[in-house]
Each structure stands twice: as C-alpha cells, then as structure tokens.
Amino acid sequence: MLPYTANTLKAELNSRGWRLTPQREKILHVFQNLPRGNHLSAEELYSLLDQRGETISLSTIYRSVKLMARMGILRELELAEGHKHYELNQPYPHHHHHMVCIQCNKTTEFNNDSILKHSLKQVEKFGFQLIDCQLTVMTICPEALRLGWPSALPSNWSCSRVISETPLEDEEN
Amino acid sequence: MLPYTANTLKAELNSRGWRLTPQREKILHVFQNLPRGNHLSAEELYSLLDQRGETISLSTIYRSVKLMARMGILRELELAEGHKHYELNQPYPHHHHHMVCIQCNKTTEFNNDSILKHSLKQVEKFGFQLIDCQLTVMTICPEALRLGWPSALPSNWSCSRVISETPLEDEEN
DNA sequence: AGATATTTGCTAATAATTCTCAATTATCAG
DNA sequence: CTGATAATTGAGAATTATTAGCAAATATCT
Ligand SMILES: [Mn+2]
Ligand SMILES: [Mn+2]
Ligand SMILES: [Zn+2]
Ligand SMILES: [Zn+2]
C-alpha cells in the first residue's frame, strides 16, 4: 500500500475505468521524490515540471492533483492563504500533521499517532469511515516573534487572543 | 475573555486605533447567537443579516470577518470546498474540532482537550506561540456509505485508500 | 460641534480553479 | 497488430470567492 509504483497507479486507475497517462505518471514521480517536509501547489508543480522540460498543461496539473487526492494518493492541505498544497498521502507509519506560522507560512511537520487514534475513536463512535485527519496548528514562529510581532505586522493585521495559557493537565478527554 | 460584549469589542478595537461600527457589532451579535455547531460563510452571513433587514455590504462582511478572525474573535475554518466558514473562537473550555463528510459536507463537532495539549507541547518544543489548532477529520458519513459510496458518487470521484485499519494501541507518541 | 482618520458600500479587479471542446491517445477486443 | 472507442489532454474562456480602489459617510477625540 505504501511504495507507489507506476504499475500500482495503473492498476488502481484501470480498476475504475481510468487510464495511466505519462502526465499522471510524471506527477506521481515528482511527489515520490519530493524531499520530506515539502509541499507543492498546483502552480509550483507546474513550473517544477516545466523547468525539467516535462511541461504539462496547468489544466492537467489541476485535474490530476485533484483526482489523485480523491483517490487517496495525495493529501490536499490548506497551509497558506489562497491556494492548496499537496503531498503524498502516506498513511499509518508516516502520517503526520502540520504547524504553520500564520505570518510567514513556514511549515513544520510533526508526528503524533495519538491524534490519529483519537480521530479514529471519534469517527467510529458515529459510524463514519475515516479518510484522513489533519491537525493544523496555527502559530507565530520565533523569527516573527523576534521581529516584534504583532507590531511588525501590516497595519490591518492583529491577533491578540491566544490560547496558550489554558490549564491542561489530564490526558484523556 | 469569553463572553464578548459590544463593549469588550469596542475596547479591543479602539486599543488598536480601530472603531466599533454598527456593522461590526451586528456581525459579532450574529455569531454570539449562532446555535452551537453552526458555521457561516461570508455569503451566508450576508444573507442572514439581509433577511433580518440589517443589510451590510458584502465587502464589509468579508472585511469584518477577516479582521475579527485576525483579532482572534472568530475562527476561520476550511470545512467545504471553495469557501471559508467562520465561528466564534472560544478558547479553552469550548475549544473543539471538526469531523466532515467529504461527500455531503455534513460537519460534526467534537471536544478533545488532549489534542490541544499535544499541539501545545509541540509548539512549545519549537519556541512557537500557539494561536489556534484545528483538527479536521475527513470522513464518509453513514448516509453516504449507505447510498453506496463510492459508487453513488459522481464519476470523477474516487477514494479507495483509507487509513482505518492502522494498528494503533499505545497512547503517547 | 468640528477635525480627522477610519470605515462603508459601490464597483472593478484578482487569482485560483473549473469548464468547454476539438484533437490526441490509452485500452481493449478481434 | 490494428482499429474502435471512450478517456484525456491542452488551450483558452468562464466561474467564483475574495480583495482593491475610491468617494461619501461616520466614529472618535478634541
Ligand atoms: Mn506534510
Ligand atoms: Mn465549530
Ligand atoms: Zn513565521
Ligand atoms: Zn455525508
């Protein structure tokens, strides 16, 4: 289930009456060789392939990435304002979450199996079927803090209400 | 910090050189009286107010809701494709997460303090400042399952790869 | 009450994503 | 291997949520 090959992809596509195209194969390849912790937007994927001389139309990029996300091969993430990011969806042992700085969009991944476990418990309690769970932690990174956040932010920006002083001692909910 | 009044809002706005307007007050009022578990998009907020004869321009709706999210008064959520939803940001005792059906967008809230606790631990380990953390659990709801998902889905939809059979026993990460 | 910077409400502009459709091509049956 | 056929691509137009620009209105502070 984990090490996706072109053949695995073809089988899965064909089983649904769909086809393996060079474009889809190249896109899978990009994500498979993307260094851990990287995430690509449609636009970024487009230019990355374009620079390698393997141009794929932006329409096809958008279509493929959406299809592969719906197939569960890619994970669709909301890490920044305005556009989605994608990464390989690697279930259990590599499942991870994201911590994002809301000022500079720097993203840090972290593992935490108990979050997945809690989600699973929640989902089963209601008879739902789990597809994915993503914890997004919005933060201000140390650099932004050092630069005097919030005073260094654009004048229309503000975020006073933080939740870090909450009393949390016990483990279970 | 929790029961927001027009006065609290005014104080907080004024402290930043901003102003309390009838529009902002009305918007806060809507969210304060929104039944638990409800979430509004900008468009929905617009028509809700419009139906009550308290029309506020869509521009102002968008601006206010974004401002109040950045102030930490509202929480900005990605629960459905294509647009954001907002709800009151109620920190510790009322902090919650969301389980969404990726087919019909039905959303269920659930509480889990240990997720917040884990996030906080993670954030502090890196010297970041926590602003918010949102766990979004993507699922297929029982109704969609009963309707024969995925076969009942539009032909371009597919999601085979689920992560529900992962071996998760231990509690801590 | 008057001065002034902020906010509102129009409308126009952006920007990400989706749609349309003719041309291309992967798959499959023969 | 070859041809039939349905899926896919690429180019550009269309859509949609959201933001920007600006004159008129107004909240706040003397
Ligand atoms: Mn990641
Ligand atoms: Mn909620
Ligand atoms: Zn940052
Ligand atoms: Zn559903």
Q: State residue B140's pLDDT score.
A: 81
CB distance A156 to B141 below 8 Å: no
Is the pLDDT at A167 greater than 90? The verdict is no
- The residue with tokens 């989605």 is A84
Quick one: which residue's CA is nearest to D12's C1'? Answer: A59
Radius of gyration of chain A (CA): 19
Of A122, A136, A160, the CB nearest to B12: A160
Least reliable range by pLDDT among B132-136, B147-151, B154-158:
B154-158
Is the pLDDT at A165 greater than 70? The verdict is no
| More confident call, B162 vs A45 | A45
Q: State residue A156's pLDDT score.
A: 42
| More confident call, B55 vs A94 | B55
Instruction: Select, from the ranges A4-13, A80-89, B44-53, B129-138, the one with the highest average predicted confidence (pLDDT).
Output: B44-53
Q: State residue B129's pLDDT score.
A: 82
Instruction: Select, from the ranges A28-37, A89-98, B77-86, B92-101, the one with the highest average predicted confidence (pLDDT).
Output: A28-37
- Distance between first and last Cα of chain A: 32
Q: Are strands B129-140 and A74-80 parallel, antiparallel or unpaired?
A: unpaired
CATH number among 3.30.450.90, 1.10.630.10, 1.10.10.10, 3.40.50.300, domain A1-90: 1.10.10.10
Q: State residue A27's pLDDT score.
A: 98
Is the pLDDT at B43 greater than 90? The verdict is yes
Q: Where in chain B is the domain with CATH 1.10.10.10?
A: 1-90
Query: How far apart, in whole angstroms, are the C-alpha atoms of residue A53 and residue A4?
Result: 24
Rounded to an integer, the average pLDDT of B165-171 is: 45
pLDDT band at B51 (very low <50, low <70, confident <90, very high): very high
Q: State residue A98's pLDDT score.
A: 95
Alpha carbon of A2 to those of A31, A34, A61, B44, B163: distances in Å?
13, 15, 23, 41, 11
Q: Which nucleotides of D are covered by protein (CB under 7 A)?
A: 6-12, 16-21, 26-29
Residues of A in contact with B161 (CB under 8 A): 1, 71-73, 89, 91
Query: How far apart, in whole angstroms, are the C-alpha atoms of residue A26 and residue A169?
Result: 48
Q: Tell me the per-residue pLDDT of A127-164, one tens digit each, with 9 for 90 and over.
A: 988 888 899 998 888 887 776 555 444 444 444 454 44
pTM (2 d.p.): 0.86
CATH architecture of the domain covering A95-173: 2-Layer Sandwich (3.30)
Q: State residue B158's pLDDT score.
A: 45
Query: How far apart, in whole angstroms, are the C-alpha atoms of residue B34 and residue B85?
Result: 13
Q: State residue A147's pLDDT score.
A: 66
What letter represents residue A136's amino acid? T
Is the pLDDT at B145 greater than 50? The verdict is yes
Instruction: Select, from the ranges A16-30, A93-107, B116-130, B136-150, the one with the highest average predicted confidence (pLDDT).
Output: A16-30
Query: How far apart, in whole angstroms, are the C-alpha atoms of residue A117 and residue A72?
Result: 19
Average pLDDT over chain B, rounded to an integer: 83
Q: Which nucleotides of C are covered by protein (CB under 7 A)?
A: 5-11, 15-20, 25-28
Average pLDDT over chain A, rounded to an integer: 83
Query: How far apart, in whole angstroms, are the C-alpha atoms of residue A39 and residue A76?
Result: 10
Is the pLDDT at A1 greater than 80? The verdict is no
- The residue with tokens 């939740």 is A163
What the block records as the tokens of A135 is 């914890």
Rounded to an integer, the average pLDDT of B36-43 is: 96
Q: Where in chain A is the domain with CATH 3.30.1490.190?
A: 95-173
Q: Tell me the per-residue pLDDT of B55-88, one tens digit each, with 9 for 90 and over.
A: 999 999 999 999 998 888 899 999 977 899 999 9
Q: State residue A99's pLDDT score.
A: 94
Any strand C atom closer than 7 Å to B13 CB: yes
Contact at CB, A142 and B122, closer than 8 angstroms: no
Q: State residue B131's pLDDT score.
A: 79
Rounded to an integer, the average pLDDT of A22-45 is: 96
Grouping H, G, I as helix, E, B as strand and the rest as coil, residue A46 is helix
Grouping H, G, I as helix, E, B as strand and the rest as coil, residue B4 is coil
Q: What per-residue string of b and e applies to B90-124 under the rule 16 or more CB within 10 Å gives b?
A: bbeeebbbbbbbbbeebbbebebbbbbbbbbebbe
CB distance A117 to B168 below 8 Å: yes
Of A72, A108, A118, the CB nearest to B115: A118
